[in-house]
Structure 1
Amino acid sequence: MAHPTLLRLGNTIVYLFFLSSSIYNVVGPDATDIGYGKHPTYLTPAPFAFAIWGLIHTLFLGFVIWQWLGDSEEIVVEGYGSYFIIAGLLTSLWHNNWESGHLILSLLILLFASASITIVYHNLRNIPPRTYTQSLFVHAPISLYHGWLVFVTWLNIFAIFTTVHDPAHPPLLHRVLVFLVLLQLTGTAVAYTEFKNRDVGDIPGAFTIAWALFGVAAGQQSKFISISALVMGIIVLLYAFRPQVIKRRIGGGERQPLLGSAAPDEQV
């Protein structure tokens, strides 16, 4: 087991590298299209969807600062461990291979990155947030990160096995495949709510899937794909807030935290 200080230092260094890599991919001399348009598919979202990385990096910045303050050893060691370090490095490596056209290699890298974040997600399920700060800067960025990698994994798969010939009129097989993936993403968002915490759900994870679906709806010229993604995005949001609505009715309107179940006497 790594020493907590070494893990904190590793998290900090990898975060700075991860952030620098993302910024370089957007404003560097080799930057082309913002987003994932270099390898177009019938699942490719509009460029604005790429902006979610800004939110992810901002929340992880909060985690990097928070881990050096107060009692964070349990979360740093038992929650994040070395898996955030692995995922950050692999995600940066994935983007480089995606941009260079090594799509099969990029998919393999992405699967390992997703597995690392999935482990963190499961670990944190056993360490519920005690404060709103932990909800926002410890749990929320992992949920966002995990949800986005799930979507990008499907995008990478489509880039390998499909080709866009007519953006407005995809073949029937492609429409069916995209619809099935949209259903799977919707199911993933439902699983976030049911698996992590039935009482409060997982708003950040569901938001990420909804954001991806809305991005697909805005980025695709096919009416069938666009409308399907839009409808499923709305369903995801409605289901994600269902625990909050139920809690309010049962509790007579008592407020519940959206990002986790922080103790009321530790709202810092």
Structure 2
Amino acid sequence: MTNLDIKFKLANTVATLLLVGSQGFSFSGWFLGHSYEFGPKDFIIILTGVLHFLLIGFTIYQYLPSAPKDVFESIGFWYLLVAVINSAVSFLWFFHLSIFAFVGLLWQLATLVFIYHRLRDYPPRNGTDHAFVNAPFSIYTAYSFFIVLWQIFQFNDQTKHNDLVLTCIIIIIGFVALHLVDYSHRKDWVYALTTGWILLGAAVFLSDVPHTTSLIVVGILISAVARTLIPNWLDRFNRRFSSWANRLGERTPLLGH
């Protein structure tokens, strides 16, 4: 496969550096004042760490000859735009310009959805493509969708901790994740697992109806992911077993001489 144009490589490299740096800046206060108790934000920190690892892998992968050039070209400069918006949002939150930051979040989500939609036309060829090209944007889109939906209700004290509002958020993001893994041709189990991880964090630290709803939705998503992955695993096992059995059958007559 021909090499990717240098301008896309540089754009993606700058985007990753900018994204990791700006999100590190956002979480710096948490790290400096973090207690030893495990809190809700720890779930997001772990998820962000996984996302950063995969995005760094995405950046390195583009320099390899085996990288899917057409996929990286379809992403183009949109990933860089996401990183620039994310950096702007981080600084706007830091200076307590909440409305402008929220507008930035909406713009970021729209850009991520655009990239996610484009990747629909480029299914992964192998596990490396899936891990370092498709998976990062599934995780980032799921996370951004949750953040935007949650942030909508944080501007009003009456809705900020309202059980009905929290339950609706849980159901909406769970429904979207279930659709993408169970009913969409993409069978996006990474998006579903990301949503399940976020809701697991919610279930641990919420109470009453939102707590129960989170656990139910997490269970449904895990079941959907299992229905997607287990048949594929069994199919691979059967193919390998059949190949092994065929090779053994070809050698068996020789053993009788």
User: TM-score normalised to the size of structure 2?
Assistant: 0.80
Counterpart for residue 254 of structure 2: none
Counterpart for residue 234 of structure 1: 219
Amino acid at match of 2:62: Q
- Tell me how far 1:29 sits from its aligned partner: 9.9
Cα distance in 2, alignment partners of residues 217 and 255 from structure 1: 40
Q: Highest relative contact order (Cα 8 Å, sep 6+), 1 or 2?
A: 1
Alignment RMSD (CA, Å): 2.7
Counterpart for residue 200 of structure 2: 214
- CA separation of 1:136/1:195 partners in 2, compared to 1, >3 Å: closer, same or farther? same
Cα distance in 1, alignment partners of residues 57 and 236 from structure 2: 34
User: TM-score normalised to the size of structure 1?
Assistant: 0.77
Higher helix proportion (structure 1 or 2) = 2
Name which of structure 1's ranges 5-14 and 153-162 shifts more when overlaid on structure 2.
Answer: 153-162
For residue 24 of structure 1, give the secondary structure of its aligned residue in structure 2.
helix
* Matching residue within 38, 43, 51 for 1:49: 43
- CA separation of 1:252/1:65 partners in 2, compared to 1, >3 Å: closer, same or farther? closer
Give the share of equivalent positions with the same residue, in percent: 22
Cα distance in 2, alignment partners of residues 188 and 178 from structure 1: 16
Is the Cα contact below 8 Å between 2:22 and 2:86 reproduced in 1?
no
Asked whether 1:76 is paired with 2:65, we answer no
- CA separation of 1:9/1:255 partners in 2, compared to 1, >3 Å: closer, same or farther? farther
Following superposition of structure 1 onto structure 2, how do residues 96-245 of structure 1 map, counting pairs within 5 Å? 96-163=91-158, 174-193=162-181, 194-197=183-186, 201-220=187-206, 222-245=207-230
Is the Cα contact below 8 Å between 1:189 and 1:209 reproduced in 2?
yes
Amino acid at match of 1:123: R
Cα distance in 2, alignment partners of residues 96 and 239 from structure 1: 38
Counterpart for residue 26 of structure 1: 27
Unaligned runs of 5+ in 1: 35-44, 257-268
- Tell me how far 1:118 sits from its aligned partner: 0.9
Unaligned runs of 5+ in 2: 241-257
- Tell me how far 1:108 sits from its aligned partner: 1.0
- Tell me how far 1:72 sits from its aligned partner: 3.3
Cα distance in 2, alignment partners of residues 164 and 99 from structure 1: 23
**After superposition, what is the alpha-carbon deviation per residue over 1:208-260, rounded to whole angstroms, capped at 9, x for unaligned?**
1001111111232x3222221122112112112212345567x596489xxxx
- CA separation of 1:177/1:26 partners in 2, compared to 1, >3 Å: closer, same or farther? closer
Greater radius of gyration (CA) = 2
- CA separation of 1:252/1:90 partners in 2, compared to 1, >3 Å: closer, same or farther? closer
Between Structure 1 and Structure 2, how many residues are aligned?
A: 231
**After superposition, what is the alpha-carbon deviation per residue over 1:181-214, rounded to whole angstroms, capped at 9, x for unaligned?**
11101111112212252xxx21211111001111
